[in-house]
């Protein structure tokens, strides 16, 4: 399910560089705080509700699942907020807003390296290496344990991105269809 949500987010958002700040993405999705300060009275609360309803629904569902089933820092934060505020819809909307901001940072390439590899990540890395299989490992010239250590080091080192605000986006060069077919069969063999 997570794969489908990630694909949908990427497909619907498209080029993340359209949004200069995470708050612009939050507003595009419709998770921005609503307020009315016209006239004598002032009111604030809830979400704006304008924007991409499909993305908003995906993030709200994800936030509900995280709050219900997870022990992540976001879930702990949400449970503390729920204990303080007592309104589950408010908490879920706040968590969905945090998820939207996290999506912006991830798609912009601004993520922090892992401090520690936990048991869940160890299992995921093991499953990925199993998918590569013995033949794929042999083609890569790696032993299973060495490949595991290499992946762990990569996860902990992270990537360093230098963002150039003046750089213009250019489309990658197109490749002939025959070349794509040969690349996909090579990738399938791994």
pLDDT tens digits, 6-54: 778 888 888 888 888 888 888 888 887 766 566 666 555 566 667 778 8
Contact 147, 137 (CB under 8 A): yes
Tell me which residue has tokens 């790696």: 142
* Count of domains for the chain: 2
Res 7: pLDDT: 79
Contact 155, 121 (CB under 8 A): yes
**3-class secondary structure, 43:** strand
Question: Is residue 173 in some structural domain?
Answer: no
pLDDT tens for 124-179 read: 888 888 888 889 889 989 999 998 888 888 777 765 544 455 656 566 666 555 55
Res 189: pLDDT: 45
- Evaluate if pTM is beyond 0.95: no
Report how far residue 57's alpha carbon sits from residue 110's, in angstroms, rounded to the nearest whole number: 25
**3-class secondary structure, 65:** helix
Does residue 13 sit in the same domain as residue 99?
yes
Question: Is residue 178 in some structural domain?
Answer: no
What range defines the domain where residue 87 resides? 2-107
């Amino acid at each position: 399910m997570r794969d489908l949500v990630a694909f949908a987010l990427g497909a619907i958002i498209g080029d993340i560089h359209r949004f200069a700040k995470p708050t612009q993405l939050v507003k595009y999705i419709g998770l921005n705080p609503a307020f009315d300060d016209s006239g004598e009275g002032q009111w604030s609360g809830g979400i704006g509700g304008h924007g991409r309803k499909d993305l908003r629904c995906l993030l709200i569902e994800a936030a509900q699942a995280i709050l219900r089933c997870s022990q992540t820092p976001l879930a702990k934060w949400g449970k503390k907020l729920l204990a303080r505020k007592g309104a589950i819809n408010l908490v879920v909307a706040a968590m969905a807003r945090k998820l939207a901001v996290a999506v912006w940072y991830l798609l912009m390439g601004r993520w922090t390296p892992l401090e520690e590899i936990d048991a869940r990540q160890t299992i995921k890395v093991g499953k990925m290496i199993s998918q590569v299989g013995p033949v794929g490992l042999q083609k890569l010239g790696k032993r299973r344990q060495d490949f595991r250590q290499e992946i762990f080091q990569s996860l902990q080192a992270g990537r360093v991105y230098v963002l150039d605000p003046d750089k213009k986006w250019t489309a990658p060069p197109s490749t002939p269809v025959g070349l794509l077919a040969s690349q996909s069969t090579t990738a399938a063999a791994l």
